[in-house]
C-alpha cells in the first residue's frame, strides 16, 4: 500500500510518500516539503494570521497534488505544536479539513513522544532494552522512556529550536546576552520539569531523533571526526562555541545545514546540550526513524486489528 504522511510541523509542511504493509519495513518512495515556519505568522492574540493560513493552504494543496501523482491510497495527516498552541488552531484545522477533504489530526505533545518512541523501538528492536528517546522539533522538546513499545513516561516541553530562536536570539551573529538568556531559560525549564522516571531513566540505550540532532551529529563529525551515528556531549559543547560566533550565512555553508536550519541550529544545540547535561548523558545514538515513521507503524497496527 502506498501512503502519504502529511506532517504540518512548526518549520515545514512535509509530505513523505511510503510503501508499506503490515509486517514490513516502510520504504520511502518520494517526498516534498515547504519551509513555512508557521510560528512566524502568529499575531499578538496568538492567532495564525490570514497570510499564514493562505501559505499553509497553498502548501497543503501542492503536497496533495504530489500525493496524487504518486498514487497514494491513503493520506495520514497530522499537525504538531505550531497548530495545537495557536488559539485558532482548531478553526484552522477544521477549515483545512473542509477544503481538502482530509482527516487532519492535531497531536498532543505526549502523543508525539509516544509515537516517536514506537518508531525508535521498532527500529532498534527488543534487544535494545530500556529506551530513553529525545526529540527536538521546531516548537517543542519531546522525551519518552520505557521498556515496551509504549513509553511508560512522556514529556513535552515548549523549548523547540525554532521557538527558542524566535523568542530569544537577536543579532547576526547572535549577541552573547541573548544566547545567555536562552541558555538560562532552557536550563530552568528542564530542571523544573524533568523529574521522576525520566530524570532517573536507567536506560540501556539513549536515542535521539529529529533533524536537529542529525544535523548536530553531522557537524560534530565534520569538526571532530567522532562519527555521525552518535552525538557526544563534549563535542556538542565545543560545537556550540563555534556556532555561536558564526553569522547565519556562515552556518548555512556548513555541511548539512540548510539556510532555514542555520537560523535555529544554535538554539537546537543549546537545548540538546542542556537536556543531556541535566540527565548526565555523555552521548546519544542517532535514530533515523521518528514521528512520521511512527505514524505509519501505528496506522498499520490499527489496520491489522
C-alpha cell at 126: 527488543
Distance, in Å, from the CA atom of 95 to the CA atom of 104, rounded to the nearest integer, reads 10
What residues pair up with 16 in beta bridges, in sequence order?
5, 31
Do 2-106 and 110-286 share a fold? yes
Distance, in Å, from the CA atom of 14 to the CA atom of 254, rounded to the nearest integer, reads 23
Superfamily of domain 2-106: ATPase, nucleotide binding domain (3.30.420.40)
What residues pair up with 141 in beta bridges, in sequence order?
136, 157
Shortest CA distance to 197 belongs to which of 149, 130, 137?
130
Shortest CA distance to 167 belongs to which of 156, 155, 179, 151?
179
**What is the residue whose three cell numbers read 510560528?**
39
CA angle 96, 100, 105 (to 5 degrees): 50
Q: Kindly give the confidence (pLDDT) of every residue in the chain, 305 residues in length, as a single tens digit, with 9 standing for 90 and above.
A: 999 999 999 889 999 999 999 888 999 999 999 988 898 899 999 999 999 999 999 999 999 999 999 999 999 999 999 999 999 999 999 999 999 999 999 999 999 999 999 999 999 999 999 999 999 999 999 999 999 999 999 999 999 999 999 999 999 999 999 999 999 999 999 999 999 999 999 999 999 999 999 999 999 999 998 888 999 999 999 999 999 999 999 999 999 898 888 999 999 999 999 999 999 999 999 999 999 999 999 999 988 77
Contact 287, 208 (CB under 8 A): yes
- The class that CATH gives domain 110-286 is alpha beta
* Cis status, amide bond into 173, omega within 30 of 0: yes
Q: For 144-167, b where at least 16 C-beta lie within 10 A, e where not — what string?
A: bbbeeeebebbbbbebbbbbbbbe
* 152: DSSP letter: S
What residues pair up with 165 in beta bridges, in sequence order?
none
Segments making up each domain of the chain, as ranges: 2-106, 110-286
Amino acid at each position: 500500500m502506498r501512503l502519504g504522511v502529511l506532517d504540518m510541523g512548526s518549520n515545514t509542511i512535509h509530505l513523505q510518500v511510503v510503501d508499506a504493509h503490515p509486517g514490513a519495513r516502510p520504504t520511502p518512495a518520494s517526498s516534498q516539503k515547504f519551509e513555512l515556519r508557521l510560528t512566524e505568522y502568529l499575531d499578538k492574540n496568538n492567532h495564525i494570521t490570514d497570510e499564514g493560513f493562505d501559505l499553509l493552504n497553498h502548501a497543503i494543496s501542492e503536497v496533495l497534488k504530489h500525493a496524487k501523482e504518486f498514487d497514494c491510497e491513503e493520506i495520514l495527516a497530522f499537525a504538531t505544536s505550531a497548530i495545537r498552541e495557536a488559539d485558532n488552531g482548531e478553526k484552522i484545522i477544521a477549515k483545512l479539513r473542509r477544503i481538502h477533504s482530509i482527516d487532519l489530526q492535531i497531536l498532543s505533545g505526549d502523543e508525539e513522544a509516544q509515537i516517536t518512541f514506537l518508531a525508535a523501538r521498532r527500529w532498534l528492536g527488543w534487544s535494545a532494552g530500556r529506551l530513553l528517546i529525545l526529540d527536538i522539533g521546531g516548537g517543542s522538546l519531546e522525551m519518552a522512556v520505557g521498556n515496551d513499545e509504549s513509553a511508560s513516561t512522556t514529556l513535552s516541553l515548549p523549548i523547540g529550536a525554532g521557538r527558542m530562536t524566535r523568542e530569544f536570539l537577536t543579532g547576526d551573529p547572535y549577541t552573547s546576552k541573548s544566547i545567555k538568556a536562552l541558555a538560562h531559560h532552557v536550563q530552568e525549564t528542564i530542571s523544573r520539569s524533568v523529574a521522576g522516571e525520566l530524570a532517573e531513566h536507567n536506560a540501556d540505550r539513549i536515542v535521539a531523533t529529529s533533524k536537529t540532532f542529525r544535523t548536530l551529529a553531522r557537524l560534530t563529525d565534520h569538526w571532530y571526526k567522532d562519527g555521525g551515528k552518535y552525538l557526544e556531549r563534549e563535542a556538542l559543547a565545543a560545537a556550540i562555541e563555534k556556532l555561536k560566533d558564526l553569522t547565519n550565512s556562515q552556518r548555512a555553508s556548513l555541511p548539512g545545514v540548510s539556510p532555514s536550519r542555520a537560523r535555529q541550529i544554535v538554539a537546537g544545540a543549546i537545548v540538546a546540550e542542556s537536556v543531556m547535561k541535566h540527565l548526565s548523558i555523555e552521548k546519544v545514538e542517532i535514530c533515523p526513524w521518528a514521528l512520521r515513521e511512527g505514524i505509519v507503524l501505528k496506522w498499520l497496527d490499527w489496520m491489522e486489528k
